[in-house]
Amino acid sequence: MTRIYPLLYRLGFTPWEYAGSHPPAARHITRLIEREEQQRQPPFGRALDLGCGRGHWAIVLAQRGWEVTGVDLVSRAVRAARANAAKVGVPVSIIQGDITALRAAGLEPEFQFIWDFGTIHGLSQAQRRVAGREVSALASADASILILAWTPAHRGPLPRGASQQDLEDAFAGWNVDDVQPFDATGLPRPLRNVGPCMYRLRRNSASPQS
């Protein structure tokens, strides 16, 4: 899946970005982010956007008061994310890198919130486990992770999806503490008929930090 993104960005075909401009989806995401903020005062802490693309959600988080780092593999997306953040005048650190090698990309602990809108569910389970270890090494003890994942299925070049079990397997030491069907009302059919869910993960209290 990862290999198709440079082409999609070159073609300007980025349907996942519709979520930001469709009120039901955007409202659902806003509610989920607000929940992360409820126990905190702004600035809320450090947030990590895994596969930040052209930066939409990284910018939203920064505008809300998070100190945001976005990571994406695709140089065209990274350039666009930096330009988009500069355009709206919010400080966001955008790094070109692989989420399976976050520390090698120069990221430092600790992040309080990890956001993934559509990246991890497109990886193989082996890649997810590596990404899970990287995230665990960079996340604070009280961190939370929010992940969008489609129901697992073979869909040709589209993301294969991930189940709760896949995510808990990939993020050793974390538990899913909330699952919500993602409100994809109004989004194009391929984005509605894939059983999208939002998963929230927290560390098991007994687990080691990395």
Ligand X SMILES: C[S@@+](CC[C@H](N)C(=O)[O-])C[C@H]1O[C@@H](n2cnc3c(N)ncnc32)[C@H](O)[C@@H]1O
- Residue 121 DSSP SS3: helix
Q: Cβ 194 to ligand X, closest distance in Å?
A: 12
Considering the complex, what minimum distance in angstroms separates the CB of residue 173 from ligand X? 21
Nearer to ligand X, 87 or 142 (CB): 87
- DSSP states along 186-198: TS-HHHHTT--EE
Q: In this structure, are residues 111 and 137 in contact, taking their beta carbons and an 8 Å threshold?
A: no
Name the one residue in this structure whose structure tokens are 């894939």.
Answer: 194
| Residue nearer to ligand X on the CB measure, 16 or 137 | 16
Output the residue with the shortest Cβ distance to ligand X: 51
Residues that bind ligand X (CB under 6 A): 2, 5, 16-17, 51-53, 56-57, 71-74, 77, 98-100, 117-119
Cα torsion 38, 71, 121, 115 to 10°: value is 0
Closer of 56 and 200 to ligand X (Cβ): 56
User: Closest distance between ligand X and the C-beta of residue 124, in Å?
Assistant: 10
Of 9 and 174, the one with the shorter C-beta distance to ligand X is: 9
- The minimum distance between CB 89 and ligand X, in angstroms, equals 20
